[in-house]
Amino acid sequence: MQVWLDFPCTERDTSGAPRIRQRFAQPTRLLIAHHLAEVSTVLAAVETAAHAGQWCVGYVAYEAAAAFDPVLQTHEAHAAGSLPLAWFAVFDEATDWPNQSASSTTPATYKTNVWQDQTSPATFAEHFAEIKAAIARGDTYQINYTTRLKSTFAGDALAYFQALHRGQPNGYSLFIDTPDWQICSVSPELFFDWDGYTLTTQPMKGTAARGNDATSDATQAARLRQSSKEQAENLMIVDLLRNDLGRIAQTGSVQVPQLFELQALPTVWQMTSTITAHTRPNTSLVDIFRALFPCGSVTGAPKVKAMELIRTLESSPRGAYCGALGVVRPHANGKGKGIQATFNVGIRTVVIRQGDAECGIGSGITWDADCTAEQREFRAKQRFLGRAAQPFALLETLKLENGTIWLLSEHLQRLQHSAAHFAYVFDLAQVETTLTDVIERHPQGAWRVRLLLEANGQSHAEAFALEPNPASIRVQLAHTAIESDHEFLRHKTTQREVYAPFQPTTPAYFDTLLWNERGELTEFTKGNLVLEINGKAYTPPVSSGLLPGCLRQQLLQQGKLQERVLYQDDLRRAEKVWFINSVRGWLAVQTSLEGA
């Protein structure tokens, strides 16, 4: 058994470290609740152990809600296949979580298959209408509706957690590995932090997908920041939590120091607010859960009616998802009781059991919500799973000719940008040493160099003889659209599944020309597109959904290309069509495209 924990430290923490990054093994005991009557007993034992100097790490499942208030409805606590209602491992000591480095061994392998949503679009629309009807009746004013995604899992669960963690590196991350099940939680949302005196909670409501480039990303953030609908959704939960905190707070101590702040996550923008309070003397950990659990951001408001409707609409237990996962540890604080309890809201959480993986995705639905927009939000929140579907390396394909690599600085800049995006270790000197070795082994002739950068910073390169360019090439037009906001279109990696459905159907075609859901031309699967129209050279913008090629970037900087949204009509009237990349240069495309 092992547990890995990476939580931000709070302002009241005196350790001086920005984060608590600990690894645990060999617990002295396990505190487990299988029945509602046992949940409070487990939490009381957790608090006692922390006062005695031990670390307690674990979770409380969403279905434990009735243990704190019998009127809170959930699915049956003992549903088949469910995990315990509460589970904590108690440790005498913690060890540091080692950082990744280039000296690390090659990461273990794992794989998830395509995640299947257990709620069909038709059922989603039906449930959405039922929620809107409930709001119209005055039963509720916000419901956090969730669905389940399921997949199969094979391989090393820790390696999978580390990949998820790289995609959400600044949140409240916890990995629990037991012989029977594993939990990989990379939640960005704080449920509560408590030092025995000051209690802080930070609900997260309001979401927008990240943009494809800096301009569209800033636009998305501005829209979220200015959205009265998203602000209202956030404020509803702030008010709910203020009331919840009031049940255990000293009179007049509940404050909202931050309202409607934006948090930039790798795949979405999230709106958060911060609420604080000073707890009354003799408040216990059980008292805090009784007042706050489940977090209002995953129920809706008012909480009792919201959970009642959720129980009716959702077909399965939530489990650790939408529960609380965290740590209770000894902590010296003059005003407090000598412990620090920090729990996340169990979103962005995958549970693995006997080769099956499950992840919940949810969204707050209010009267102003639109069904199509909510479904888009669900898809945006799922993207963190696609990023970690299986291990991948960053990739640069370079042209080495007579000892010189063409466009080397552009390739290295792009590689560094992608490493920062995916939180991969990037050591420029180590990468340059790898390339120098390839150059010394291939001083003459033309070569195609394949440079790989692993997550731990290790780089590898190999060279292949480069065949002469053909005089022209035949390509086909894709028969279906490609999703323009797919993350792996904008970064060159070994994760090529997004391109797999668009491979040429016969060897007669050199490549396939892609177009997106808006009908915009984007790129080839192995190069960028250039159309010559009225004597001027145009290439699609990154916002259409494509890889910013190094040759393309140089030509744009030199003023030899202009960005412009292009359509199939432009393809038909173009005087010339070109395939370009930094290995082949310019290849003339025969203009009679199959499917055009």
Distance (Å, whole) CA 579 – CA 587: 5
Give me the pLDDT at residue 81, please.
Answer: 60
SS3 assignment, position 307:
helix
3-state DSSP: the chain helix, strand, coil percent, rounded to 5? 30, 35, 35
Distance CA 220, CA 222 (A): 5
* pLDDT value of position 308: 95
Please give the Cα distance from 590 to 576 (Å, whole number).
8
| pLDDT (0 to 100) of residue 595 | 57
pLDDT of residue 165: 92
**Cis before 330? omega within 30:** no
Average pLDDT rounded to a whole number, residues 207-224: 79
pTM of the entire predicted model: 0.83
Structure tokens that stand for 500 in this block? 């797999």
Q: Which domains does the chain have, with CATH numbers?
A: 2-387 (3.60.120.10), 394-465 (3.30.470.10), 475-588 (3.20.10.10)
DSSP-derived secondary structure for 52-109? TT-EEEEEE-GGGGGGT-TT---S-TT-TTPPPSEEEEEES--EE-PPP-TTSPPPPP
Stretch among 284-293, 382-391, 443-452 having the lowest mean pLDDT: 382-391
Tell me the pLDDT tens digit for each residue of 163-184: 999 888 788 999 999 999 999 9
Q: What is the pLDDT of residues 67-104, one digit of tens each?
A: 999 999 999 866 556 799 999 999 998 898 876 554 45
Of 361, 228, 339, 202, nearest to 283 by C-alpha is 339
Catalytic residues: 189, 205
Q: What is the pLDDT of residues 338-372, one digit of tens each?
A: 889 999 999 999 999 999 999 999 988 999 889 99
Q: Tell me which amino acid residue 396 is.
A: E
Q: Per-residue confidence at 221, pLDDT binned at 50, 70, 90?
A: confident
Structure tokens given for 59:
């979770």
Q: How deeply is 73 buried, as exposed, middle or buried, from its count of CB atoms within 10 A (0-12, 13-18, 19+)?
A: middle
- State the DSSP string of 283-298: --HHHHHHHHPSPGGG
Per-residue pLDDT averaged across 256-280, rounded? 86
Of 458, 457, 499, 440, the residue nearest 449 (C-alpha): 440
596: DSSP letter: -
Residues 531-557 have pLDDT tens digits of 999 999 999 999 999 999 999 999 999
* Model pLDDT, residue 18: 79
